Amino acid sequence: MQKNFVLDTNVLLHDPEAIRSFEDNNVIIPITVIEEIDRFKKDVNEVGRNARQVSRFLDSLRQQGNLQTGIAMDGGGSVRVMFGLEFADRLPPELSAGKGDNRILAVCLAVRERETLPVVFVTKDTNLRIKANALDIPAEDYERGKVQLDERYTGTAEIHVPAATVNGLFKEGGAEVAAELSENQYVCLVDEANPSHSALGRFRAPSGRVEPLRVPKDPLWGIQARNREQRYALDALLDESLQLVTLVGKAGTGKTLLAIAAGLQKSVEEQVYKRLLVSRPIFPMGRDVGFLPGDIQEKLRPWMQPIFDNVDFLFAGSEGRDGRRTRGYQELMEMDMLALEPLTYIRGRSIPFQYIIVDEAQNLTPHEIKTIITRAGEGTKVVLTGDPYQIDNPYIDATSNGLSYTVERFKNQSIAAHVTLNKGERSPLAELAANVL
């Protein structure tokens, strides 16, 4: 049945294309939403860009007709801007008409009163959905781009096969398995007669076979894989044919450390890439300390300290292999082999022949992830790491963040691979805390 969908401001700021996402249903935008969008239009961040895009789109519709009566959309349905303040007196006394959220609810009441089609309020604000429910107004979260938690692609599989198949993986350079696998999915082949006999590989769709991992036996900057998921990760991180790698895992599973070690190996040692470029979204955990003094590098230092810690750890682990004491990340930055940059200024850039690591990518929206990946020039590899359950961005969650979205969208692509790491290796305390707290 056709419906009237009333959109909240946060839906349009999250996805400026949301207006086009309701097929043949009617989209209603309260005038309060237009006012709130106007307050964001001068922001220089992603929210400001989205606000300007929404305003331009509505202005283009205005030129086609009257937004108050509705503009027909190509896929059916219509878009209109609606007033409803006269219904504010029908709100409970606790819901003041002076608050924007409550004026939006008043529009929902007006639509329900005046029109025969069912009304559905769409908002990403949890408390506002609760308010709507208390007023007997159906409310939903904006679901486009969400990934169901129980359907999230892990990038790995375990298959029980005959012993000959396990042996053939190395003797013949590959093995065929009777299972439905995705391109570049990592597989553990387990001997069905002897579970302790197993082999690790990666499925390649062109050949239809599982091929052995290509992980060096020697330590990589002083570290070695401690479990099979870390072996999978190193295989993906070191494979130059894979231009996008996503690593998901809880705290302490080694996502960032492995990515930096592989990046240093490929850029500093093998010089396949000109530079290792590392960035993180700037979201504080807890109360912010306010503005930071200094130039851009000094401002970035507190946010990038986890990266410095990992690089110093790798230098300490590899100390002495060239017979001298290394200075850590400062030496690499002076040699222009390591660069730390904020994501704020990445729009419009083209970045060729670099190994890019975006840490804490779960705090990015799908559109921000798209902006980052589309900056990759010729010969560039992009690695996204993060934990969808540790999100500091108030506008996304474990199912709608850019990292989860990218994992699902790039499944089965020949130049992309994904690994979910499960076992914590930082310390017994960190592993226990990640599981029980």
pLDDT at 285: 39
List beta partners, residue 357.
278, 383
Report whether pLDDT(378) > 80: yes
Residue-wise pLDDT for 16-66, tens only, equals 889 988 989 999 999 999 999 999 988 877 788 889 999 999 999 999 999
The mean pLDDT value for 304-312 works out to 79
**Those residues with Cβ within 8 angstroms of residue 200's Cβ, 6 or more apart along the chain or in another chain:** 186, 187, 188, 189, 212, 213, 228, 231, 232
pLDDT of residue 323: 47
pLDDT of 316 > 80? The answer is no
Confidence bin at 324 (pLDDT 50/70/90): very low
The helix-helix angle for 296-317 and 255-264 (nearest 10°) equals 80
Mean pLDDT over residues 8-18, rounded?
A: 91
Residue 267 has a pLDDT of: 93
The pLDDT tens digits for 234-293 are: 999 999 999 999 999 988 899 999 999 999 999 999 999 999 998 887 654 344 445 556
Angle at 252 between CA 237 and CA 228, to 5 degrees: 50
Q: What is the pLDDT of residue 289?
A: 45
pLDDT value of position 327: 56
Strands (E), 57-154: 71-72, 78-82, 119-122, 139-140
Q: Region of 348 please: left (phi>0), alpha (psi -120 to 50) or beta.
A: left
Q: What's the token pair of residue 360?
A: 């804490």
DSSP labels, 322-334: TSS----HHHHHH
- Specify the pLDDT at position 301: 65
Round the average pLDDT of the chain to a whole number and report it. Answer: 86
Q: How far is CA 187 from CA 200, 231, 315, 391, in A?
A: 6, 11, 32, 29
Counting residues of the chain whose pLDDT is more than 70, the rounded percentage is 89
* Overall average pLDDT of the 181-200 stretch: 94
pTM tops 0.85: no
Strands 338-340 and 198-204: unpaired
Cα 35 → chain centroid: 30
Q: Which of 94-98, 292-296, 364-368 has the lowest mean pLDDT?
A: 292-296
Would you give the end-to-end CA distance of the chain in angstroms? 45
pLDDT at 294 (0 to 100): 64
Structural domains of the chain, ranges and CATH numbers in brackets: 4-140 (3.40.50.1010), 146-213 (2.30.130), 218-436 (3.40.50.300)
What is the average per-residue pLDDT within 398-425? 91
Give φ, ψ of 322 to 5 degrees. Answer: -110, 10
Does pLDDT of 394 surpass 90? no
Cβ atoms < 10 Å from Cβ of 368: 23
Question: pLDDT tens digit string along 199-227?
Answer: 999 999 888 999 999 999 888 888 899 99
